């Protein structure tokens, strides 16, 4: 049986300080300054040209998005307009996040899908929730914790710079204060997070993991569907195998200004199955793939994670 120490879905990597670099907190503070002065409509209007400049300058990220879209959506995917749309959705989502966390703006939520929150609330034991980098992960986790009424544990990787990590930690501490059921864990070197998540699941709590992104030192797992090969993290698969917890898909999408939808799917691994990691991947992959094909413009990964098998 795999060790629970591998059962995390985020890399363990050092902060990289680059003053005024892409990941420096200065840019977020600049945005907050203008958001205090300008009306929302003007901020949103300015997001378009600013995002275009970022998309132009962020060459590695732009190329990664192009490759992912070209693989997911042949032959129409990967064009400049589609790539810009992903960057723009990410920017608008980030603005929503700042409006909510720093200016106490309310977020409107629509809850849909095949499973109601009461199903997760009534699960007798720990639950493993799989999601992807879409919509607004932080805000969705807080709402999920509030509505479910159960302890929710989410996993994050440290930010790419120390300055942004400091800002993000302050934001999330405030979010945890407002939502006592929400608990945020960072995968720090030597933190034994895999063991901690196992304990939480075995104690009957809910653990949320992101099952779509492999960066840094995360152990990868290759799986193919409809000719598309995904590089997904092995950690969440191992966590499901070790604990035997039921696995549910939960996806977030932005539908408008400060408006989001939570899509709750039926369990793709039911309680009592005791699956192998490969079984979990085989069940998770079609669910994730279907969502990403439908909502490709909200898949916020900026690394090449999919390839297409030669015809």
Tell me the per-residue pLDDT of 97-109, one tens digit each, with 9 for 90 and over: 999 989 999 999 9
Q: Is the pLDDT of residue 72 over 90?
A: yes
Average pLDDT over residues 186-210: 86
Tell me the per-residue pLDDT of 135-166, one tens digit each, with 9 for 90 and over: 888 888 888 888 888 889 998 877 667 877 78
Average pLDDT over residues 197-213: 93
The secondary structure of residue 161, as a DSSP letter, is S
Tell me the per-residue pLDDT of 266-302, one tens digit each, with 9 for 90 and over: 999 999 888 999 999 999 999 999 999 999 999 999 9
φ and ψ of 269, to 5 deg: -130, 120
Q: Is the pLDDT of residue 87 over 90?
A: yes
Average pLDDT over the chain, rounded to whole? 86
Torsion angle (degrees, nearest 10) of CA 45, 46, 52, 58: -140
Tell me the per-residue pLDDT of 50-71, one tens digit each, with 9 for 90 and over: 999 999 999 999 999 999 999 9
The secondary structure of residue 269, as a DSSP letter, is B
What's this model's pTM, rounded to 2 decimal places? 0.87
């Amino acid at each position: 049986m795999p060790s629970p120490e591998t059962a995390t879905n985020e890399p363990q990597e050092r902060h990289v300080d680059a003053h005024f670099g892409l990941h420096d907190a200065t840019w977020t503070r600049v945005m907050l300054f203008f958001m205090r002065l300008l009306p929302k409509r003007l901020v949103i209007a300015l997001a378009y040209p600013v995002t275009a400049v970022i998309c132009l300058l962020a060459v590695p990220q732009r190329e990664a998005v192009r490759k992912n879209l070209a693989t997911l959506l042949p032959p129409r995917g990967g064009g400049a307009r589609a790539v810009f749309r992903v960057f723009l959705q990410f920017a608008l989502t980030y603005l929503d996040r700042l409006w909510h966390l720093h200016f106490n703006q309310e977020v409107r939520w629509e809850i849909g899908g095949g499973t109601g929150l009461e199903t997760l609330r009534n699960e007798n034991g720990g639950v493993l929730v799989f999601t992807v980098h879409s919509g607004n992960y932080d805000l969705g986790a807080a709402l999920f914790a509030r509505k479910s009424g159960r302890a929710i544990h989410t996993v994050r990787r440290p930010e790419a710079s120390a300055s942004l990590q400091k800002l993000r930690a302050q934001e999330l501490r405030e979010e945890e204060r407002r939502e006592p059921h929400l608990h945020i864990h960072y995968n720090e070197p030597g933190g034994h997070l895999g063991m901690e998540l196992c304990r939480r699941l075995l104690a009957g709590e809910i653990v949320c993991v992101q099952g779509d992104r492999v960066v840094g030192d995360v152990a990868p797992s290759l799986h193919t569907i409809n000719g598309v090969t995904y590089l997904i993290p092995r950690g969440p698969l191992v966590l499901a195998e070790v604990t035997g917890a039921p696995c549910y898909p939960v996806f977030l999408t932005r539908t408008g200004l400060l408006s989001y939808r939570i899509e709750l799917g039926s369990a793709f691994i039911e309680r009592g199955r005791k699956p192998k990691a490969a079984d979990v991947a085989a069940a998770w992959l079609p669910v994730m793939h279907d969502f990403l094909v439908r909502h490709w413009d909200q898949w916020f990964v900026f690394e090449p994670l999919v390839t297409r098998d030669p015809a």
